Amino acid sequence: MLDLNTNSFGAAMEDIFVVKRCNKIIVHGRRAGEADHSPPDAAVWYRIADTRTRGFIGDGFDLEEDAVRECRRLNAVSSPKSWHA
């Protein structure tokens, strides 16, 4: 099954960490006595997924660029090439 919400960088066989786009719903509360409240806002955030465990690394990112940067850093330090340096 192809996950269109996951971005992989570099050679697919070497990427351990990938960026996953996740939906985020922001629900606005209301105070006692208020009849109306704002509807929920739809937004997205980005998480780094470990392809080996299918778990997530860290708390997530609001900006895709920040997630991509951290994902590349994690893949670079996890690369077997970096172990033999």
- How do the pLDDT tens digits run along the chain, 85 residues long? 335 455 555 444 568 999 999 998 888 887 888 777 788 888 999 999 999 999 998 889 999 999 999 999 999 998 776 555 5
Output the pTM of the full model.
0.66
The contacts found for 28-31 with CB under 8 angstroms, 24 or more apart, are none
Please give the C-alpha separations between residue 37 and each of 2, 28, 43, 47, 60, in angstroms, as whole numbers.
38, 7, 18, 29, 28
Domain-by-domain residue ranges, the chain? 6-27+39-83
Bridging pattern class, strands 56-61 and 41-50: antiparallel
